[in-house]
């Protein structure tokens, strides 16, 4: 059940991701592939609703996430074009975050060969804390470190966990503020629908 704080956080994120700004995130971080806002993809709407996900217009492209992982690797979402990406903002102190982690790990492993990946963005914690947490839960999906909160600010995150779903073409598909049942039939139906979309062709140099 969503608490009053979760509802307030969700409203705040919705405000930053479009309300009163056409389809632009405050500060210009959220981009569009066309000058005008496109309508939401009606084929995905029925799949987003059971999960309580906020829907984006069909051509909204979020800013690329760039940073170092807990394993000292560099990662950028722009390099993952062609994959369905679940971006999860979390922290070790977040009680609602912990139950989601094993589920996300399972999906990452099961659907990876189909072109699905999970990226965890840790909020303002030290590398050793994140490393210990990942080891305890057996996490293998990439965990980006955000020690100064820049990535959280870039995506307008005001509550944890916050999750964004990105399609193969890099577009923002849905937003969840608060925990969700990511292993539910509804979630799997959404992910399979996105995985069934064609992989975009590389742009000409």
Is-cis flag, bond preceding 181, omega within 30?
no
Q: What is the pLDDT of residue 41?
A: 59
Question: What is the per-residue pLDDT for 57?
Answer: 84
E strands, 82-154, are 84-90, 116-123, 143-146
Query: What confidence score (pLDDT) does residue 22 get?
Result: 32
Q: What is the pLDDT of residue 4?
A: 52
Domain covering 4-195 in this structure, CATH number = 3.40.30.10
Q: Measure the CA–CA gap between 48 and 95, rounded to whole angstroms.
A: 24
Residue 121 in contact with residue 153, Cβ under 8 Å?
no
* Mean pLDDT within 151-168: 96
pLDDT in tens, 93-138: 999 999 999 999 999 999 999 999 999 999 999 999 999 999 999 9
Question: What is the per-residue pLDDT across 33-90, written as a single tens digit (0 to 9) for each?
Answer: 333 344 555 689 999 999 999 999 878 899 999 999 999 999 999 999 999 999 999 9
Break the chain into its structural domains and give their ranges: 4-195
pLDDT: is 3 or 128 the higher one? 128
The count of C-alpha atoms lying within 13 angstroms of the C-alpha of 60, restricted to the half-sphere facing its C-beta, is 28
Q: Are strands 116-123 and 84-90 parallel, antiparallel or unpaired?
A: parallel
pTM of the full predicted structure?
0.82
Q: Please report the DSSP string for 67-113 in residue order.
A: EEBTTS-EEEGGGGTTSEEEEEEE-TT-TTTTTHHHHHHHHHHHHGG
The pLDDT score that the predictor gives to residue 42 is 64
């Amino acid at each position: 059940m969503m608490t009053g704080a979760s509802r307030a956080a969700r409203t705040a994120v919705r405000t930053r991701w479009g309300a009163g700004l056409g389809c632009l995130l405050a500060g210009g971080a959220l981009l569009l592939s066309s000058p005008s806002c496109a309508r939401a993809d009606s084929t995905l709407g029925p799949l987003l609703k059971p999960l309580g996900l906020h829907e984006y217009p069909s051509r909204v492209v979020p800013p690329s996430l760039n940073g170092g992982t807990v394993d000292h690797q560099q990662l950028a979402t722009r390099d993952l074009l062609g994959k369905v990406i679940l971006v999860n903002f979390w922290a070790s102190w977040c009680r609602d975050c912990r139950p989601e982690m094993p589920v996300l790990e399972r999906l990452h492993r099961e659907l990876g060969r189909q072109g699905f990946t999970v990226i965890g963005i840790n909020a303002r914690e030290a590398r050793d804390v994140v490393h210990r947490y990942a080891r305890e839960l057996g996490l293998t999906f990439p965990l980006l470190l955000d020690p100064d909160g820049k990535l959280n600010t870039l995506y307008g995150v005001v509550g944890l966990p916050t999750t964004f779903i990105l399609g193969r073409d890099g577009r923002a598909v849905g937003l969840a503020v608060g925990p969700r049942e990511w292993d539910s039939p509804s979630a799997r139906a959404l992910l399979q629908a996105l995985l069934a979309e064609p992989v975009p062709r590389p742009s000409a140099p």
